[in-house]
Structure 1
Amino acid sequence: MDLEGRNRRVFNRLGGPSAAPPPNATKTQKVCYHWRAGKCSRFPCPFLHRELPYPSGATSAAANGSGAPKPFADDSGFSSPAPRRGPNFNNNHNNSWGRMGDNKVVRKTEKVCNYWVQGNCNYGERCKFLHSWNLGEGFTLLNHLDGHQKVVTGIALPAGMDKLYTGSQDETVRAWDTNTGQCMGVLNLGGEVGCMISEGPWLFVGITNVVKAWNTQTNQEISLSGPVGQVYSMVVGNDLLFAGTQDGTILVWKFNAVTNSFEPAASLKGHTLAVVSLVVGANRLYSGSMDHSIKAWSLETLQCLQTLTEHTNVVMSLLCWEQFLLSCSLDKTIKVWVATENGNLEVTFTHNEEHGLLNLRGMPDSESKPVLLCACNDNSVRLYDLPSFSEKGKIFAKQEIRAIEVGPGGLFFTGDGTGFRVWKWVEPVPKP
């Protein structure tokens, strides 16, 4: 598939150099190509480092304020996006995607010092490598909790609890006291944890051939049978529990309050390989698969509404933000989707990374501005402002970061093969 050609076309649709300029544009009014990409090093630059005004009479998100970023609806990392747009929805809001803001990260050599990690770097502040697990301002590391022997694949904070739970490929779930950071207990499951989520008091853990459900308030335990192979992803929507499995099936259960149990409700088939990502938004379920596709399902009828095939590798994670769907893949891209007039999704922007992407989460920073957290398979997490994709910072780890979770009060968590780290958004230091 012509991936480079597609990215060029998307960029042109966003107002790139091959797009037609406004009627009143002159040679000196051309917007700098490199500035749009956030890489202009010319000073002075003969081209504009700002956007041209819209033609008179045109409406746009920039003109009417609808394109301004809004914080996520809650602290869960998932938003409740606005309903799909109606016939009067304005296309021009797409121009805000990918436009670099003023928030640039001051770069140092983006590699953590191996000697510093081992505690014996003699260069101190003169070392050209990082003596820190993060780069950027506005967030800080609070704690690093270890104990798992293999990569952490799930982090969950059940409602009303003072405990945090982590699941790992070492076949265990650990409970942590959120006040002291101490491990309160270890549960051996006899199988690798593929994913873990919480909904209300319930903790759901996906392992091979089964979903384990625990009520953290009553200690009730239920085993949900039916999955074939590993359970890689789960989500709750419309009072239903969805689980993506290794054989490409999405299993559905509904909670029966009378019997206090989960009853099988449906089995969604369509993917040809494992379903590794699920998200709910705008009354739809979206599923990403190892077959490189995304499917949109109606939450009301549980029927497949559309299949998206623009990714060229595994679709690892999905996120709903406002009226947009964001997807990331091992093909090294993040794609932003928006509904057309007939309700179908199309790509409105593509962001390229140097490495494959593993996970997406969204949350507001200390100034209530939306931030996208992207885990890459080079043992790092990138932080971007939305919708500009202006780089805000980076987080580094010794091993792959497979789990990201968002907590209350500006907290967020990253899990890798050595345990998990606790981070917090803080007020930026005012510049003198």
Structure 2
Amino acid sequence: MTASLARDWLVRVHSGRAELADTAPVIETATATVFACRLAGRPDPMLTSAVAVPRNGSMPFHLATDDPLGDLAGHAAEPTPRPLRRQAARTNARGRVLAVDAAVDGYPASAVPWRPDDETAGWWDRLVGHFPGARVGECATWDEVVRAVAATGPDTRGVVWIRREVAGLEFTGHLVYAHNNDGQVVLLDGQTGGLARLDTGGVRGLRLARFHRQRPGVGVEPWRRSAPTFPAAVAKARAWLALRHAGQLVLIAPSPYDEMRRGWLFACSSARYVTYHDWRAQTLDGALVVPKDEAAPFGLPNAEPWNWLRDWDLGAVEAVPEPAAGGPPSWYAETMPRLGPVLSTSVHPNGESVLAELSRFPRDARALVWLRRRDRRGRESVGALFNALIGAAGPILVESSTGRTAVLDQPGLLALHVIRYH
């Protein structure tokens, strides 16, 4: 009965992506029964891989990442309900470790709350992707972690995944941040706001993602700092996205190959699109230019972006496109409710296919055509919107940002969406 409650809760909260590792509990107390859990059909472990089922009938909950056994003891002392939203503050080790990384560099940062989607397969690789150039290795002891971070000198950083086990099964782990501060290695716990507790009992392994990044100059907004190197450019881009979009846009596969003469051309996507792959959640403005000098990052114009970027990189233009921050993280959610009810949507590989569909619409029908582009590295980048009206002579398409006749087949074309509305 208790195992079925845990199983049903996991299915509901994780949308079927998590399951019990064993129907037998790994811990039992006077107030709760604890089960180990795992990703369904996947070998990589979850971070919050323990679920407690209270005996008083309240909802199950994931144990805290920083101290799961202490959290369980706290529940035994005070077995009050642990709503998912409230308990998320005790399980957001990922958000906390990213906030610590920003704080070490002097960036304003707040931790993003835990969400069930954080546990999906590949979560560790996605986390490591926040730290370009990170080298991942296994450490047998905490001394080995400290030696590794000390070996490559000041401003070496690292994220340590503490993998725990109970009764031979993976148990809720934790993430702590390592920093070589002028030769002194410190391990910080963003969850508790202090020095990390270096547990040894019940530890299955210590996985270290180690990287090096110099601290930027003090007293300058992080998105106003120069970015002559790739790590500095990534930090500047992330600071800008955090400032302007509060984590709703994320960088996609930044690389040293993004370098230009005057800056870096990065790509970003809506965080919801990355998670759910719903095209309606994607951003229109997926290009982000990070100048090497102290100028703020900016987006590209929706019309003829590659010509404009070439001219900027050659120094032929200086004024950045407006608005510099780009549009909303999801243009569809912002735009379509203002235009009217959506009647149909379709996706097309080229302009000929779009015109063929528009030609079948009745007279005076209206639609938006969303042109999605790839950048030179194949990532989705800045797009464009065209207004379509079916006139007596056929479809009329106008570039919404310039008022000029729309050109559907453009370099780097990824897809064309036709969205008919009433």
Per the TM superposition, whether the score is higher than 0.5 is no
Structure with a larger share of its residues in strand: 1
Structure with a larger share of its residues in helix: 2
* Structure with bigger gyration radius: 2
TM-score (norm 1): 0.22
Give the number of the structure with larger relative contact order, counting CA–CA contacts within 8 Å between residues 6 or more apart: 1
